[in-house]
């Protein structure tokens, strides 16, 4: 006779094995390792601490001349759209009360420039020793401007040194008209027409056939505006192609436009022109006496210096980016924690328990990535939310003007920095899964993110082109998310990573980092499934 | 030192050399360090273009750019030489066999330092050779007014020999930090942070005096002054002083690591 023995069955109900349970398991692992929690806190504190350190040690001062005492940096004027602008030129103007139009013919644009900073022998002519020649963005033409205050709204038609006829308005807008340089044999006719707060710009080669170049809608343009002729030119700069790219020499420049056939239908007064240099002290090293206008009959010549364009942030001027120096330190700490979140499981053998409890290995990696990304993002966001206002305040107290920016940009910088930390930590997790060794994983990620950035900003090692490729291709491209300065084709400046300009747009750079992290995660998931634990 | 102590030290050195030699990691890593250093140096030299004859290229510095990356691999070798023992528990066996803990650290420093110097010499020579060839092809040669990149020149010899020493000191720094921290991930993060973060933070500080002081104490920035062969007068320290700063960092780390090793339970 045989007895059958029922096989043992546990009386416990089957546990649920959804993704939520896996997340909870990973979260428990994370929060119960004291070192990781402390590590995250230290990472956040370092972000704040370094930001405060750079903020409180910043200073901004410049010297007007070789002998004068240094003074605090002046805040550049803000344009109608909020950003900093350069707004200095020579304006030959008349009030325009209401609608009207102005038409001129430009017969020449000439200029002088200095190659070596200081100009003019003592007691001599202010332009003595300057070389004849125009700059690429030397400008002369007609302008209708809300007022003579720096930074006020305007629209202008102009001939330029080597970019043909342009219509520009409110500093950031730039539209191309007739190509080619102006000369006596190829004069350029320019016209601006104001109707309410809409100003249209036209150009013509013969004064008969006119082409619309652009239409500017200047909201809130006052009834009585100032209209007339202007000339301006940015200084001469020669950026040498030396390694690091930031060494540039130069000096002030002067542009002179010759005009005739001036006609002004509309609400213009009968009186003559008023000449005025729209300038703040320190805008140009060229004495005001070098600028001015002459009038003989119908002919007018206007000479001016300075620029009417966005200010891309010169040396010493700060932006939010500067308060976020601690990101690099925080990033290293979070990369270490991220790599250990996986490598420690291998070292302790916990990985075997983990994979027994959840045999679907891809999901384990996903759960780890979600928990790690969440923790780093929140830590980073809190740290950034503290350091930005504190750092800005410190910079402000130290006399460094801070680049104004829209709230949306500031939110992008803050949120983007937290996301940058989270993605870097996930990248470290994936590399840790691939290599299973903490030291190797941490080094690979730091050498992939921090080192390319360092080489991209370091002067004297790599040529500028190579530096730009580094922050385009490597995970360091992600730092573009912190970029606050904007590049403008109508302003010549050193747009290199050392000055805070990335070759990729903020989100594009961040996408490069995300692509690296995604590729590493896919490889890690593959390796985790195929290899024995 | 007595004869017995000498024999003891030789045995400890032999033990450390056996440990380093018989695991696959260090050898492969040192070969990686050589390859990466030479490759990055060659890539940097190849990227130099100077059409207007205006650039201030420092041929030695450009050719040795690979050190920036190579030092990270050297740091892994040094850190794992210590932390590997802690993660496997081997350290208890080591200290049972050699109870004089300072001696263990000294032997490790000697063995890892020597291996790094050997690998570093190969890496630096390969970089200098590749750099010399590539820079000449790009017109950075005496015919265009640049210094030749030849080891016969005092400054170039100093830059190359100094770079080898630099790598050796990085290994010692890594050992010291690892002996302090014991965990490989945290230790390597600390070493790389020390090296890479100083110059980044300095770049954001707008106070020129503070900038100069930070450069003077930064282990990597100051240490790599040894590679400069042009515009020496603009450096905040002389090349050998700079390398001395790194040596101080390494000595400090080894001292702190040794003290902790001596007084802490393993």
Residues of chain B in contact with residue A242, where contact means CB-CB under 8 angstroms, are: 54-57
Q: Chain B partners of A440 at a C-beta cutoff of 8 Å?
A: 76
pLDDT at B54: 54
Q: Which residues contact A124 (CB under 8 A, 6 or more apart)?
A: none
Chain A closest CA to B177's CA: distance in Å?
13
Chain-chain contact of B55 with A400 (C-beta, under 8 angstroms) = no
pLDDT band at A243 (very low <50, low <70, confident <90, very high): very low
Task: Return d(Cα A433, Cα A339) in angstroms, integer.
Answer: 8
Q: Tell me how close the Cα of B3 comes to any Cα of chain A, in angstroms.
A: 39
**What is the rounded CA–CA span in Å between residue A38 and residue A33?**
9
pLDDT band, residue A284 (cuts 50/70/90): low
Q: Which two structure tokens, joined as six digits, stand for A253? A: 């420049």
Q: Contact A447/B62, CB-based, under 8 Å?
A: no
* Residue to substitute from A70, A439, A462, A471, interface B, most B β-carbons within 10 A: A439
Q: Residue A6: which pLDDT band, with cuts at 50, 70 and 90?
A: confident
CA–CA separation, A59 and B143 (whole Å): 44
CB contact set of A158 (below 8 Å; sequence gap of 6+): A139, A140, A141, A142, A143, A165, A166, A167, A168, A190, A230
Residues A371-379 have a mean pLDDT of: 95
For the ranges A221-225, A508-512, B11-15, the one whose mean pLDDT is highest: A508-512
Query: A61 φ, ψ to 5°?
Result: -150, 155
Q: Which of A53, A400, A461 sits opposite B61 (nearest CB)?
A: A461
pLDDT at position A317? 54
Q: Report d(CA A93, CA A154) in Å as an integer.
A: 13
Q: What is the pLDDT of residue A285?
A: 64
Contact yes or no for A58/A400 (Cβ under 8 A) = yes
Question: Do A326 and A49 form a contact (C-beta atoms < 8 A)?
Answer: yes
Is A427 within 8 Å of chain B by CB?
no
Residue B5 has pLDDT above 80, yes or no: no
Residues composing chain B: 266
Q: Provide the β-strand partners of residue B27.
A: none
Query: Would you state the structure tokens that stand for residue A124, as one six-digit string?
Result: 């001599």
CA A125 to chain centre: 39
Of A255, A81, A89, A257, nearest to A171 by C-alpha is A81
B57 contacts B45 by C-beta, under 8 angstroms: no
Residue A262 pLDDT grade (very low, low, confident, very high; cuts 50, 70, 90): confident
Are A317 and A403 a contacting pair, CB within 8 Å?
yes
What is the ipTM, given to two decimal places? 0.89
**For residue A13, pLDDT beyond 50:** yes
> Roughly what angle, to the nearest 10 degrees, separates helices B67-88 and B24-47?
160
A59 touching B, CB under 8 A? yes
Taking CA atoms, what residue in A is nearest to B60? Answer: A461
Closest CA to A130 of A337, A287, A6: A287
Q: Do B192 and A457 touch (CB under 8 A)?
A: no
Rounded to the nearest 10 degrees, how much is the dihedral formed by the CA atoms of B259, B260, B263, B266? -140
- A207: its two tokens: 């004064």
Predicted confidence band of residue A282 (pLDDT cuts 50, 70, 90): low
Percentage of chain B exceeding pLDDT 90: 27
- The answer for residues whose C-beta is within 8 angstroms of residue A463's C-beta and 6 or more apart is A241, A243, A245, B47, B48, B49, B55
Better-predicted residue by pLDDT, A82 or A144: A144
- Report yes or no: A461 at the B interface, CB cutoff 8 Å: yes
Query: Using 50, 70 and 90 to split pLDDT, how confident is the model at A369?
Result: very high
Classify residue B258 as left (phi > 0), alpha (psi -120 to 50) or beta.
Answer: alpha
Q: Which residue of B has its CA nearest to A500?
A: B204
The whole-number average pLDDT for the span A88-103 is 88
Structure tokens at A329: 């330190």
Report d(CA B65, CA B34) in Å as an integer. Answer: 13
Contact A438 B184 (CB under 8 A): yes
Whether B28 and chain A come into contact, CB under 8 Å, resolves to no
Task: Spell out the residues 6+ positions from residue A277 whose beta carbon is closer than 8 angstroms to its own.
Answer: A88, A89, A90, A91, A288, A291, A304
Of B73, B47, B38, B51, which Cα lies nearest the Cα of B174? B73
Task: Check CB contact under 8 Å for B52 and A241.
Answer: yes
DSSP annotation of A254 reads E
- Entry pTM: 0.84
Contacting B residues, span 82-101, partner chain A, CB-CB under 8 Å: 83, 87
Q: Residue A264, SS3?
A: coil
The confidence score (pLDDT) of residue B155 equals: 81
Contact status, residue A126 vs residue A161, Cβ threshold 8 Å: no
Residues B50, A241: C-beta atoms closer than 8 Å: yes
Q: Which of B185, B187, B202 to mutate to test the interface with A (most CBs of A within 10 A)?
A: B185
From chain A residues 475-504, the ones with a CB under 8 A of any chain B CB are: 498
Residue where the block lists tokens 């970089």: B127
Q: Are A329 and B185 in contact (CB < 8 Å)?
A: no
3-state secondary structure of A180: coil
Q: Count of CB atoms within 10 A of residue A53's CB? A: 18
- pLDDT at position B73 is 92
Q: A455, B65: Cβ pair inside 8 Å?
A: yes
Using CA coordinates, name the residue in chain B closest to A332: B189
Buried b / exposed e over A290-321, threshold 16 CB at 10 Å, is: bbbbeeeeeebbbbbbbbbbbbbbeeebbbbb
Question: Any chain A CB within 8 A of the CB of B211?
Answer: no
What is the Cα–Cα distance from B16 to B103, expressed in whole angstroms? Answer: 11
Using the Cβ of B199 and the Cβ atoms of chain A, whether some distance falls under 8 Å is answered with yes
- Asked if the C-beta of A48 comes within 8 angstroms of chain B's C-beta atoms, the answer is no
pLDDT tier at A423, thresholds 50, 70, 90: very high
Query: Region B8-27: what's the mean pLDDT?
Result: 83
pLDDT at A68 over 80: no
Choose the mutation target among B37, B89, B204 for the interface with A, i.e. most A CBs under 10 Å: B204
Within 58-77 of B, beta carbons closer than 8 Å to A belong to: 58, 61-62, 65, 68-69, 72-73, 75-76
Instruction: Give CA–CA dist A433/A441, Å, rounded.
Output: 8
CB of B192 closer than 8 Å to CB of A450: yes
Q: Is B6 exposed, middle or buried (0-12, 13-18, 19+ CB in 10 A)?
A: exposed
Is the pLDDT higher at A320 or at B145?
A320
Query: Taking CB atoms and an 8 Å cutoff, what residues of chain B touch A451?
Result: 68-69, 72, 196
Tokens of A38: 């402390």
What are the angstrom distances between the C-alpha of B24 and each of A23, B18, B29, B81? 36, 12, 9, 12
Find residue A156's DSSP bridge partners: A143, A168
CB-based contact B87 A347, cutoff 8 Å: yes
Helix/strand/coil (H/E/C) assignment for every residue in chain B? CCHHHHHHHHHHHHHHHHHHHHCHHHHHHHHHHHHHHHHHHHHHHHHCCCCCCCCCCCHHHHHCCCHHHHHHHHHHHHHHHHHHHHHHCHHHHHHHHCCCHHHHHHHHHHHHHHHHHHHHHHHHHHHHHHHHHHHHHCCCCHHHCCCCCCCCCHHHHHHHHHHHHHHHHHHHHHHHHHHHHCCHHHHHHHHHHHHHHHHHHHHHCCCHHHHHHHHHHCHHHHHHHHHCCCCHHHCCCCHHHHHHHHHHHHHHHHHHHHHHHHHCCC
A242 vs B54, B205, B210: nearest CB: B54
Is the Cβ of B47 closer than 8 Å to some Cβ of chain A? Answer: yes
**Placement of tokens 């070969």 in the chain:** B31
* pLDDT tier, A1 (very low <50, low <70, confident <90, very high otherwise): low
Straight-line distance from the first to the last Cα atom of chain B, in angstroms, rounded to the nearest whole number: 27
% of chain A surpassing 90 pLDDT = 26
* A26 CB-side CA count, 13 A: 25
Q: Residue B58: its chain A contacts at CB < 8 A? A: 243, 460
Contact B57, B146 (CB under 8 A): yes
Contact A339 B185 (CB under 8 A): yes
* pLDDT above 70 coverage of chain A, percent: 89
Class in CATH terms, A85-310: mainly beta
Q: Say whether A332 and B79 touch across the interface (CB within 8 A).
A: no
Which element (helix H / strand E) includes A188? strand A188-195
pLDDT at A38 over 60: yes
Q: What does residue B91 show for φ and ψ, rounded to 5 degrees?
A: -60, -35
CA B249 to each of CA A116, A466, B119: distance values in angstroms, whole numbers, following the listed order:
43, 31, 22
Average pLDDT over residues B58-70: 85
For chain A, counts of helices (H) and of strands (E):
9, 21
Calculate how close chain B gets to A524, using CA atoms only, in Å: 19
Asked if the Cβ–Cβ distance from B200 to A457 is below 8 Å, we say: yes
Q: How long, in residues, is chain A?
A: 533
Q: Are strands A253-263 and A299-304 parallel, antiparallel or unpaired?
A: antiparallel
B56 at interface of A, judged by CB pairs closer than 8 A: yes
Average pLDDT over residues A516-532: 92
**How many Å lie between the alpha carbon of B91 and the closest alpha carbon of chain A?**
16
- pLDDT band for position A245 (50/70/90)? very low
A472 pLDDT higher than 70: yes
For chain A, domain boundaries? 19-51+317-530, 85-310
The two tokens of residue B140 are 């950075």
Q: Which residue among B56, B193, B207 sits closest to A57, beta carbon to beta carbon?
A: B207
Does residue A336 sit at the B interface (CB-CB below 8 Å)? yes
B48 touches chain A (CB under 8 A): yes
Phi, psi of A307 (to 5 degrees): -150, 150
Chain A: give the shortest CA distance to residue B11, in Å. 29
In the stretch 201-260 of chain A, residues with CB closer than 8 A to chain B read 240-243, 247
């Amino acid at each position: 006779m045989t007895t059958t023995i029922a096989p043992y069955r546990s009386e416990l109900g089957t546990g649920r094995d959804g993704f939520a349970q896996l997340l909870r398991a990973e979260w428990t692992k994370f929060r119960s390792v004291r070192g990781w929690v402390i590590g995250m806190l230290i990472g956040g504190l370092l972000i704040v601490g370094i930001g405060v350190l750079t903020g409180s040690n910043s200073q901004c001062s410049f010297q007007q001349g070789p002998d004068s005492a240094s003074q605090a940096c002046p805040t550049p004027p803000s344009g109608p759209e909020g950003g900093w602008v350069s707004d200095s030129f020579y304006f030959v103007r008349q009030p325009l009360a209401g609608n009207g139009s102005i038409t001129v013919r430009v017969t020449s644009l000439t200029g002088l420039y200095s190659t070596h900073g200081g100009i003019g022998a003592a007691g001599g002519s202010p332009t003595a020793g300057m070389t004849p020649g125009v700059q690429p963005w030397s400008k002369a033409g007609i302008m209708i401007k809300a007022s003579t205050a720096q930074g006020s709204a305007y629209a202008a038609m102009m001939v330029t040194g080597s970019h043909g006829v342009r219509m520009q308005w409110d500093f950031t807008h730039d539209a191309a008209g007739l190509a080619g340089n102006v000369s006596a044999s190829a004069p350029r006719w320019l016209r601006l027409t104001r109707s309410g707060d809409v100003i249209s710009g036209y150009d013509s080669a013969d004064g008969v056939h006119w082409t619309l170049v652009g239409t500017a809608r200047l909201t809130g343009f006052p009834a009585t505006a100032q209209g007339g002729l202007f000339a301006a030119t940015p200084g001469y700069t020669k950026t040498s192609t030396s390694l690091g790219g930031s060494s540039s020499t130069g000096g002030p420049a002067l542009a002179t436009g010759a005009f005739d056939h001036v006609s002004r239908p509309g609400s213009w007064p009968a009186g003559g022109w008023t000449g005025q240099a729209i300038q703040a002290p320190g805008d140009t090293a060229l004495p005001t006496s070098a600028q001015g206008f002459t009038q003989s009959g119908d002919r007018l010549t206007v000479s001016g210096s300075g620029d009417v364009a966005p200010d891309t942030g010169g040396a010493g001027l700060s932006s939010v980016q500067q308060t976020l120096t601690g990101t690099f330190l925080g990033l290293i700490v979070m990369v270490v924690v991220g790599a250990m979140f996986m490598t420690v499981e291998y070292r302790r053998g916990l990985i075997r328990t983990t994979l027994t409890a959840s045999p679907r290995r891809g999901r384990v990696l996903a759960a780890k990535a979600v928990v790690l990304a969440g923790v780093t993002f929140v830590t980073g966001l809190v740290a950034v939310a503290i350091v930005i206002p504190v750092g800005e305040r410190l910079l402000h107290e130290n006399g460094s003007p801070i680049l104004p920016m829209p709230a949306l940009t500031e939110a992008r910088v803050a949120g983007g920095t937290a996301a940058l930390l989270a993605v870097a930590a996930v990248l470290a997790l994936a590399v840790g899964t691939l290599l299973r060794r903490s030291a190797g994983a941490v080094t690979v990620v730091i050498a992939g993110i921090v080192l390319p950035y360092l080489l991209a900003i370091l002067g004297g090692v790599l040529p500028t082109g190579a530096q730009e490729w580094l922050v385009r291709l490597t995970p360091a491209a992600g730092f573009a998310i912190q970029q606050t300065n904007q590049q403008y084709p109508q302003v010549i400046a050193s747009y290199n990573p050392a000055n805070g300009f990335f070759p990729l747009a903020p989100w594009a750079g961040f996408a490069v980092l995300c692509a690296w992290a995604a590729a590493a995660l896919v490889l890690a998931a593959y390796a985790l499934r195929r290899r024995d634990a | 030192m007595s004869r017995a102590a000498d024999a003891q030290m030789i045995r400890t050195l032999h033990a450390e050399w056996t440990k380093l030699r018989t695991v696959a990691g260090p050898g492969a890593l040192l070969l990686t360090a050589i390859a990466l250093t030479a490759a990055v140096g060659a890539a940097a030299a190849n990227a130099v273009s100077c059409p207007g004859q205006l650039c201030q290229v420092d041929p030695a510095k450009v050719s040795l750019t690979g050190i920036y990356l190579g030092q990270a691999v050297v740091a892994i070798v040094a850190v794992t030489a210590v932390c590997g023992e802690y993660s496997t528990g081997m350290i208890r066996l080591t200290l049972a066999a050699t109870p004089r803990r300072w001696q263990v650290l000294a032997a490790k420093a000697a063995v890892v330092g020597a291996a790094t110097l050997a690998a570093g010499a190969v890496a630096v020579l390969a970089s200098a050779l590749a750099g010399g060839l590539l820079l000449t092809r790009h017109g950075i040669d005496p015919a265009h007014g640049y210094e030749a990149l030849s080891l016969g020149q005092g400054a170039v010899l100093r830059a190359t020999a100094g770079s080898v020493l630099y790598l050796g000191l990085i290994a010692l720094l890594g050992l010291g930090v690892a002996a302090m921290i014991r965990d490989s991930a945290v230790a390597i993060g600390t070493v790389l942070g020390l090296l890479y973060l100083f110059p980044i933070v300095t770049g954001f500080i707008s106070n020129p005096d503070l900038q100069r002081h930070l450069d003077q104490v930064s282990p990597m920035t100051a240490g790599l002054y040894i590679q400069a062969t042009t515009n020496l007068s603009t450096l905040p320290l002389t090349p050998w002083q700079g390398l001395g700063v790194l040596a101080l960092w390494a000595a400090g780390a080894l001292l702190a690591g040794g003290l902790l090793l001596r007084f802490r339970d393993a």
